[in-house]
Amino acid sequence: MKTVNVHEAKTHLSRLLEEVEAGQEVVIARAGRPVARLTALLRERPPRQLGILAGRYNVPEDWDAPLPADVIDRFGGGE
């Protein structure tokens, strides 16, 4: 965690924000006493939309059928 004084924080805010975006925390101090902590915000994910790919793909009826013996052999499972 990096500590900077208020004057340095005002002077180099853009650089400090880049460091924060990269994952570092910065403490801003006044007269050597910590006053604030500068941290990155967690980005909110948009809510998931169920069924967004509905109708775009067809799942064959035998999707869970056993693999052919030659395919199993290629993976070393037939030994």
The per-residue pLDDT for 33 is: 96
For domain 2-38, the CATH superfamily is YefM-like domain (3.40.1620.10)
Looking at residue 79, its pLDDT comes to 62
Provide the residue ranges of all domains of the chain, joining segments of one domain with +. 2-38
SS (H, E, C) the chain: CEEEEHHHHHHCHHHHHHHHHCCCCEEEEECCEEEEEECCCCCCCCCCCCCCCCCCCCCCCCCCCCCCHHHHHHCCCCC
pLDDT value at 78 more than 80: no
Averaged pLDDT of the chain: 91
Provide mean pLDDT across the span 16-29.
95
Per residue in 36-60, pLDDT tens? 999 998 878 888 889 888 889 888 9
Q: Does residue 4 have a pLDDT over 70?
A: yes
